């Protein structure tokens, strides 16, 4: 699956942009604030239906317009003479529902698009993956789960919906209410929550070896990199060998937490509070690793995710590298270039590219316009 052609209409600063993207590495070059990241953001939106810059959909629509349109031709991996590319047309609305057409037919639900295109993103603030709180790492795992199997999008939505209702009930309950009302929410919370946790545990097992290897590749030195699942509601030893224990453990913990939940008016246990505990040589990376180690680790997490998706789905996601080389020292930039997985890649840069990056083509970006250039 490769991106073949992209059109942007009223997407941020792009009024009407079009670009043909072939296999290999395409570089989007230009000065600051010209609309380079925006191009990658649009491709990323088609894959995840959200911005990798964590911007709300309304910010993606050009100021003063009602909707943005992203169109893309996605060529299947087995390109034969009679295999036609898929045409995606996504309308992102400032207000109201988004609409998505696949091969000119509207999808029943816009989110049915998930799974059509997959991306692996490298961006300047990836460091947050290691440095920030657990939410960033949970989001990383959950994004990977959806890329591997789009049904996890529904599992996550279910869990969030139940959690929201349960918390709303807790916020407003009074002593006159029957706490047994919570039984219904608890049961649903455990069902969706356990499924999500089992998915995360299976994923962690898959990620373990590629993560260690990727860290060694990027840092240029081997280290013992580990990533265990940390859940306050479990006994601390949950892993993929204990998938059957997840639901009973979670149910027990949710039950035991009820009085505390009622008192705090909040759901205190569950996968919305769990963490993916990344460590280097036994020390928690978030607290102990150096800035350089943290950067290598965040790159390694993305590379490992890319490897796992490629293996399980059978073809590599499109790589989106937003301005990453400017953040890396020469050694790490060179290590990343030499270990970049074989895949289609879109790369942005405001300056020089690291030597040795085998770019196929350059597209100049200026004032929200795209100008294909010549091979560098
Ligand atoms: N919704 C919007 N409507 C109109 N213009 C927008 C919108 N959102 C962002 N912009 C404009 O797009 C420009 C930024 O685009 P983008 O982030 O893609 O730039 P860039 O080329 O990646 O820059 P840098 O090199 O600094 O990262 C800004 O000038 C901003 O004002
Ligand atoms: Mg940018």
The DSSP bridge pattern shows strands 345-349 and 25-29 to be parallel
- Indicate if ligand 1 lies below 6 Å from the C-beta of 13: yes
pLDDT tens column, 230-255: 999 998 778 888 999 999 999 999 99
Find out whether the beta carbon of 34 lies less than 6 Å from any atom of ligand 1.
yes
CB count within 10 Å of CB 282 equals: 9
Quote the percentage of the chain above a pLDDT of 70. Answer: 98
Q: Which chain residues have CB less than 5 Å from ligand 2, an ion?
A: 37
Q: What would the mean pLDDT of 321-330 be, rounded to a whole number?
A: 86
What's CA 133's distance to the chain center, in Å?
16
Residue 287, phi-psi category: left (phi > 0), alpha (psi -120 to 50), beta (remainder): alpha
Average of per-residue pLDDT across 275-302:
95
| Confidence band of 81 (pLDDT split at 50, 70, 90) | low
3-state secondary structure of 333: helix
For residue 198 and ligand 1, the question of a CB distance below 6 A is answered with no
User: Is the CB of 12 inside a 6 Å radius of any atom of ligand 1?
Assistant: yes
CA gap 308, 208 in Å, rounded? 10
Atom in ligand 1 nearest the alpha carbon of residue 65 = 3
pLDDT greater than 90 at residue 337: no
Q: Is 55 in the pocket of ligand 1 (CB under 6 A)?
A: no
Q: Which atom of ligand 1 is nearest to the CA of 59?
A: 1
Do 173 and 259 meet the contact criterion of CB atoms below 8 Å apart?
no
> What's the DSSP call for residue 62?
P
Q: Is the CB of 63 under 6 A from ligand 1?
A: yes
Q: Is 36 in the pocket of ligand 1 (CB under 6 A)?
A: yes
Q: How close is the Cα of 30 to the center of ligand 2, in Å?
A: 10
Under 8 Å between Cβ of 302 and 122: yes
Span 193-203, average pLDDT: 98
| Strand (E) or helix (H) holding 105 | strand 105-106
Give me ligand 2 centre to Cα 347, in Å: 10
Chain mean pLDDT for the chain = 93
Give residue 372 CA to ligand 1 midpoint distance, Å. 19
Q: Was domain 121-316 assigned CATH 1.20.1050.90? A: yes
- For residue 52 and ligand 1, the question of a CB distance below 6 A is answered with no
Q: Per-residue pLDDT averaged across 306-312, rounded?
A: 95
Instruction: Give the per-residue pLDDT at 376.
Output: 44
Cβ–ligand 1 contact at 33 (below 6 Å): yes
- Is the pLDDT reported for residue 342 higher than 90? no
pLDDT of residue 98: 96
**In the chain, where are the structural domains located?**
121-316
Ligand 1 in contact with 14 (CB < 6 A)?
A: no
CA of 32 to the centre of ligand 2 (A): 7
Report how far residue 300's alpha carbon sits from residue 46's, in angstroms, rounded to the nearest whole number: 24
Rounded Cα gap, residues 296 and 308, in angstroms = 18
Residue 371 near residue 363 (C-beta atoms within 8 A): yes
User: Of 76-80, 163-167, 176-180, 330-334, which gets the smallest average pLDDT?
Assistant: 76-80
Say if residues 335 and 220 touch (Cβ distance below 8 Å).
yes
Q: What b/e readout covers 329-354, taking b as 16+ CB neighbours within 10 angstroms? A: eeebbbbbbeebeebbbbbbbbeebb
Question: Element (H or E) spanning 212, and its range?
Answer: helix 181-219
> Best mutation site among 33, 322, 349 for ligand 1, i.e. most ligand atoms within 8 A of its Cβ?
33
- Tell whether the model's pLDDT for residue 297 goes beyond 50: yes
Specify whether the CB–CB gap between 190 and 247 falls below 8 A: yes
- 66-80, 152-166, 191-205, 243-257: which has the minimum mean pLDDT? 66-80
292 CA from centroid of ligand 2 (Å): 22
- pLDDT (tens digit, 9 = 90+) per residue, 346-375? 999 998 877 788 888 999 999 999 988 754
Summarize pLDDT for 222-231 with one digit per residue, the tens.
999 999 999 9
Q: How far apart are CA 178 and CA 195, in angstroms?
A: 28
What is the position in ligand 1's atom list of the atom closest to the CA of 39?
Answer: 18
Q: What is the pLDDT of residue 176?
A: 84
| CB under 8 A, 24+ apart: contacts of 363-367 | 363/19, 363/26, 363/27, 363/28, 363/29, 364/29, 364/30, 365/28, 365/29, 365/30, 365/34, 365/35, 365/36, 365/39, 366/30, 366/31, 366/34, 367/13, 367/34, 367/35
pLDDT tens per residue across span 134-183 = 999 999 999 999 999 999 999 999 999 999 999 999 999 988 888 788 99
What pLDDT score does 274 carry?
Answer: 96
pLDDT attached to residue 78: 65
Please, which residues bridge with residue 318 across strands? 119
Distance 323 CA to ligand 1 centre (A): 14
318 touches 305 (CB < 8 A): no
Question: In the numeric block, which tokens belong to residue 68?
Answer: 């943005």
Token pair, residue 179, equals 């706490």
Distance 176 CA to ligand 2 centre (A): 55
Residue range 93-116, pLDDT digits in tens: 999 999 999 999 999 999 999 999
282, 224 in Cβ contact below 8 A? yes
Q: Residue 314: which region, alpha, beta or left (left: phi > 0; alpha: psi -120 to 50)?
A: left
The whole-model pTM stands at 0.93
Which residue carries 């649903």 as its tokens?
188
Residue 114 CA to ligand 1 centre (angstroms): 26
In this prediction, residue 336 carries a pLDDT of 86
Give SS3 for 4: strand
């Amino acid at each position: 699956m490769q991106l073949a052609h992209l059109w942007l209409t009223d997407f941020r600063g792009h009024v009407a942009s079009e670009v043909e993207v072939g296999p290999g590495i395409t570089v989007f070059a230009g000065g600051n604030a010209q609309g380079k990241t925006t191009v990658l953001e649009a491709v990323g939106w088609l894959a995840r239906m959200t911005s990798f810059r964590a911007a709300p959909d309304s910010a993606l629509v050009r100021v003063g317009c009602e909707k943005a349109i992203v169109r893309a031709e996605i060529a299947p991996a087995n390109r034969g003479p009679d295999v036609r590319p898929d045409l995606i047309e996504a309308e992102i609305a400032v207000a109201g529902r988004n609409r998505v057409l696949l091969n000119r037919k509207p999808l029943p639900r816009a989110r049915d698009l998930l799974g059509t295109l997959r991306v692996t993103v490298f961006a300047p603030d990836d460091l947050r993956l290691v440095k920030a709180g657990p939410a960033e790492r949970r989001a990383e795992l959950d994004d990977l789960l959806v890329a591997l199997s789009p049904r996890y999008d529904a599992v996550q939505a279910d869990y969030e919906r139940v959690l929201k209702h349960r918390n709303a009930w807790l916020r407003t309950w009074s002593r006159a209410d029957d706490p047994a009302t919570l039984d219904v929410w608890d049961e649903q919370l455990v069902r969706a929550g356990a499924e999500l946790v089992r998915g995360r545990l299976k994923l962690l097992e898959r990620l373990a070896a590629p993560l260690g290897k990727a860290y060694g590749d990027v840092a240029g030195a081997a280290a013992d990199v580990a990533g265990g699942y940390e859940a306050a509601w479990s006994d601390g030893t949950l892993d993929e060998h204990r998938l059957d224990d997840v639901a009973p453990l979670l149910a027990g913990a949710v039950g035991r937490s009820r009085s505390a939940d009622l008192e705090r008016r909040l759901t205190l246990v569950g996968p919305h509070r769990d963490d993916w505990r990344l460590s280097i040589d036994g020390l928690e990376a978030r607290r102990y690793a150096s800035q350089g180690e943290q950067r290598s680790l965040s790159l390694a997490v993305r590379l490992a995710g890319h490897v796992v998706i490629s293996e399980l789905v059978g073809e590599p996601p499109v790589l989106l590298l937003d301005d990453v080389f400017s953040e890396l020292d020469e050694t790490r930039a060179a290590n990343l270039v030499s270990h970049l997985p074989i895949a289609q890649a879109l790369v942005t840069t405001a300056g020089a590219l690291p030597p040795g990056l085998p770019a196929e083509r350059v597209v100049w970006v200026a004032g929200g316009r795209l100008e294909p250039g010549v091979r560098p």
